[in-house]
Structure 1
Amino acid sequence: MRSNCLPFRADSAAATAEFVRPQRYALRASHSIARCSGLIAAVMLAGCMSAPPSIDAPTTRASTAAIDLPLADPSAGVDMSLPAQRPESLPSNSALARDFMELSFSLESGRAIPQFSRFEGPITVSLGAGAPASAPRELARLVSRLRGEAGVPISVGASAQNHIQIDFVPRKQMSREVPNAACFVVPNVSGWDDYRAARRTARGDWTQVKQRVSATVFIPAEATPQEVRDCLHEETSQALGPLNDLYRLPNSVWNDDNFHTVLTRYDMIQLRATYAAELHSGMSAPEVQAKLPAVFARLNPAGGAVRGLRDDPTPRAYVSAVNRAIGPGNTGARRAAAMSAINLAAAQGWNDTRAAFGWFALGRLSVQNDPETALNAFAKAGNIYRATPGAGIQSAHVDMQLAAFALSAGRAQDAIALVNRAMTPALSGENAALMATLYFIRAEAYDTLGNPAQAQQARVDSAQWARYGFGSDAAVRARAAEVAALARAGRG
């Protein structure tokens, strides 16, 4: 299930020599930041991104260049191709096997799944009525990746069994039934009415599934093109394979921090293992575990032998604290929950994405009322993410937050350096909304430095990302206006 509260999904040059380390920057910028923290809050995006966030709208409009930028057609998709680069590294086979067991034999709620399940034989997937214009292209691309990278025998079409249906339902209807889910997948149902009838019965209970024969993915009908794609990736992959989400995974869509928005190399090898010839539906956990050393030795020869599965559980207390922190409710209570998550991570001795995400949540929740704490929290989160293999997209989100602070404090060159550092992981993570916002920040920073030609180029560059990420001209222009307001605060 994809959570309804998401991190912001918004040139590859290296950071320049003028880049200021976050720890020092937090001390140097706090006074100028304090007077405009309300404006910073608008672009720091502490709210949910399933719809345009609630913001304090600036009283003046964005620059004419921002408003008149050529908005791309979101149904056409965007070119997120990267120059040839080294493939994403994989964990050891011991770690892959440990993760496989926890992903496959537990639900997000903590309930145990008593047996392994998957589809047996060829699988079809199809879009229901009312699918957005971008959905067919996204589904075709996803299916191609699943076949080529994960070896899953899946194709677009319809069949009597082994079928995944993608249905689009009004957001209000979905929110009434599952208020915290942006999108989700249910076994053994066909359509929204059937889901409602099967809810809280054994038919719709993943723990009762011994072999998968059908599933339906539910996505909001009003979803932006990027949200459609993100939901297709996570929910279709969970219809096929792992049903759990783990906060410790730095390089996977199966993590409720929602930083990764498309299936990664890590995800594909776990799906390839799910459909390995050595496994079949109905196997017990010990039976699957006994087969995994041979499975991963074949799929990932460089990963070494599986030498026992070292447990690394995430206590439910941490999960509950994080869910409170990123969920709805009183900001003070949510900040307290974020601190609880931070303290629990420290008590466990973690220095991984779980520790970083607590700091990231605290930063987002502190922007309006305590910008010094926000800067410190983002700096700590960034330090951990940058030291964690596979956490490039998380680092990019932190750098976007810090770049917004820098812009609002009149430190345009620092903002550009942070944007430059974030660009490559944002592009690699195929995050169009993040890319668009980085370009907006870059444009306003160049305007501040008196470089109108480079500012205009950044605005033009933002166009192919903006509509895909935000979904409408109004949302794009609102985001551009928010960033422009930050820049005006910095110039004042």
Structure 2
Amino acid sequence: MTSLLSALRRLVFPVATLLLSACGPSAVPPGAAAPLPVLTRSNSQTAADFLELFFRLESGQTLTQFTRYEHPVKLVVAGEVPKAAWSEIDPLLRRLRNEGGVPITRTRHVEKADLVVEFVPRAQMRAFVPDIACFVVPEQRSFADYVAEGAQITPWADLQTRGQALLVIPSDSAGQDIRDCLHEELAQALGPVNDLWHLSDSVFNDDNVHGRLTAFDMLVLRLAYQPELKSGMSRAEVAALLPALLNRLNPAGGAVEDVPSRLPPRWWAQEMQLVLTPSLAPEQRLRMAERLAAFADSRGWEDNRRAFAHYLAGFHGLSADPDRAVQHFGESRRLYADLPEAALHMALVDLQMAGVFLAADQPEATLFLAEQAGEALRLADDRADLALSYLLRAEALERLDRGAEAAALRLDSLPLAGYGFPGEAALPEVLRDAGQAR
């Protein structure tokens, strides 16, 4: 364990003094969603990403035409709707209208709705899609119809324009999971049909780090709903319009120029999906994650593809080889430090390392890392991981004979955990698994 602790100290403590000197109270209370940051990415990369998001599926299949809604969108909420859902839906629709430029409103009439958000019990949903938290399918109006048709769906590639779509979310999910599902799946129903592994500033990435639609995501939707674009346009036609549209919507992003493709090989993307599959054996996930990280290193990628591969290799290697896991976390954090909007990713790396320090009975280091992660988690309104950071801090304080502070933190973690996790039964498990990813 000595080499493990040395590696962590080399990684963390050179910046500890600077960070701790800035640890004043946060202006954002726990659970409050902070304003999204100003977009700083280039229009060149945004244009390239937009085309890949709309003209390619996750399977790698290319699409021949652009699709979106060509009329004001009506959304209805159906099924066993949990109370937590109502506080998420209307604020999200306001953001989609105001920031994303999408003409969307809620209706109470299923027959008038373009989009149906249906809540069903998790067990019922998992009988058909066991490894998916929530999903959206085109040309369906209800979960019952989806089941009756044998869970067959109309391929996105067959759409001429956007029409009827069904979003299915487990009714017994935690509040945070409901929010995250609403943001990502509703955005997919309205816009991008693809996820891109290199994006560190978007929900359109299967790393599932960002839960709320980001400034980049809203720009993508606003682009999609500009009057110059229409369903049926080819990739070349859309590409020809993007420079002028981006100059209008994001003038600070500069002129649009060609950029190298960031699409990874298909085998790499497929294995990334497998590493995230809970039903796969842990040793298989570790071998795959190590292979993915090594390949990303060999290609010299300097984006989320490589950073997240190292994160996964570290996470899945914690039990087998803690020293090696910490090396992966260190490389992941180094890469994220140079990426846009990656503070949340770095916070999740810090939580992993805080758990390692706690297991090594190093409470001071645990406390520092968990506190360091807290600000980004608060700003992202990631209450599940913020609750975990509180519990890590509380355990560290307990070991430092600061019991009163530990008790206060545990109390403060309860409302966060109540939103971030599906029930009280999850809390002891969170504490037992402190330092592991959700």
Q: Give yes or no for TM over 0.5.
A: yes
The structural deviation recorded for 1:179 is 2.8
Q: Which residues in structure 2 correspond to 1:288-437 (within 5 Å)? A: 288-327=238-277, 328-437=279-388
Which of residues 256, 280, 283 is equivalent to 2:206?
256
Which of residues 72, 75, 88 is equivalent to 1:122?
72
Amino acid at match of 1:152: V
Q: Give unpaired runs (5+ residues) of structure 2.
A: 13-28
The structural deviation recorded for 1:286 is 0.7
The structural deviation recorded for 1:365 is 1.2
Q: Which residues in structure 2 correspond to 1:11-410 (within 5 Å)? A: 22=8, 24=10, 79-82=31-34, 87-158=37-108, 160=111, 163-197=114-148, 204-327=154-277, 328-410=279-361
User: Contact conserved, 1:90 with 1:266, CA < 8 A, in 2?
Assistant: no
Query: Take 1:342 and 1:438, find their aligned partners in 2: how far apart are those partners?
Result: 27
Could you say if the C-alpha distance between residues 439 and 289 of structure 1 is closer, same or farther in structure 2, counting changes exceeding 3 Å? same
Could you say if the C-alpha distance between residues 433 and 354 of structure 1 is closer, same or farther in structure 2, counting changes exceeding 3 Å? same
Which of residues 391, 398, 401 is equivalent to 1:450?
401
The structural deviation recorded for 1:299 is 0.6
Give a deviation string over 1:134-159, Cα, whole Å, max 9, x none. 11111111111111211211112156
Amino acid at match of 2:273: N
The structural deviation recorded for 1:332 is 2.3
Give a deviation string over 1:438-473, Cα, whole Å, max 9, x none. 001111111111222321221222122111011212
User: Contact conserved, 1:321 with 1:340, CA < 8 A, in 2?
Assistant: no
User: Contact conserved, 1:318 with 1:341, CA < 8 A, in 2?
Assistant: yes
Q: Identity over aligned residues, as a percent?
A: 37
The structural deviation recorded for 1:196 is 3.5
The structural deviation recorded for 1:347 is 2.8
Could you say if the C-alpha distance between residues 365 and 482 of structure 1 is closer, same or farther in structure 2, counting changes exceeding 3 Å? closer
Query: Take 2:157 and 2:148, find their aligned partners in 1: how far apart are those partners?
Result: 18
Query: Take 2:425 and 2:248, find their aligned partners in 1: how far apart are those partners?
Result: 50
The structural deviation recorded for 1:103 is 0.2
User: Contact conserved, 1:325 with 1:334, CA < 8 A, in 2?
Assistant: yes
User: Contact conserved, 1:386 with 1:395, CA < 8 A, in 2?
Assistant: yes
Query: Take 1:282 and 1:198, find their aligned partners in 2: how far apart are those partners?
Result: 28
Query: Take 2:431 and 2:332, find their aligned partners in 1: how far apart are those partners?
Result: 26
User: Contact conserved, 1:120 with 1:162, CA < 8 A, in 2?
Assistant: no
User: Contact conserved, 1:467 with 1:476, CA < 8 A, in 2?
Assistant: no
Query: Take 2:408 and 2:302, find their aligned partners in 1: how far apart are those partners?
Result: 39
User: Contact conserved, 1:78 with 1:468, CA < 8 A, in 2?
Assistant: no
Could you say if the C-alpha distance between residues 175 and 482 of structure 1 is closer, same or farther in structure 2, counting changes exceeding 3 Å? closer
The structural deviation recorded for 1:20 is 8.0
Query: Take 2:324 and 2:317, find their aligned partners in 1: how far apart are those partners?
Result: 6
RMSD of aligned Cα (Å) = 2.3
Q: Secondary structure at the match of 1:186?
A: strand
Query: Take 1:291 and 1:25, find their aligned partners in 2: how far apart are those partners?
Result: 45
Partner of 1:53: none
Amino acid at match of 2:300: G
The structural deviation recorded for 1:416 is 1.4
Amino acid at match of 2:257: R
Q: Secondary structure at the match of 2:232?
A: coil
Could you say if the C-alpha distance between residues 312 and 25 of structure 1 is closer, same or farther in structure 2, counting changes exceeding 3 Å? closer
User: Contact conserved, 1:188 with 1:204, CA < 8 A, in 2?
Assistant: yes
User: Contact conserved, 1:335 with 1:362, CA < 8 A, in 2?
Assistant: yes
TM-score of the superposition, structure 1-length normalised? 0.79
User: Contact conserved, 2:70 with 2:161, CA < 8 A, in 1?
Assistant: yes
List structure 1 runs of 4+ shifted beyond 6 angstroms. Answer: none
Amino acid at match of 1:428: L
Query: Take 1:81 and 1:180, find their aligned partners in 2: how far apart are those partners?
Result: 29
By relative contact order (CA 8 Å, sep 6+), the higher-ranking structure is 1
Amino acid at match of 2:418: R
Amino acid at match of 1:235: E
Query: Take 2:40 and 2:150, find their aligned partners in 1: how far apart are those partners?
Result: 37
Give a deviation string over 1:280-324, Cα, whole Å, max 9, x none. 111111111111111111110100011235322221121122122
Give a deviation string over 1:176-212, Cα, whole Å, max 9, x none. 32233211111111112322455686x6211111111
Partner of 1:9: none
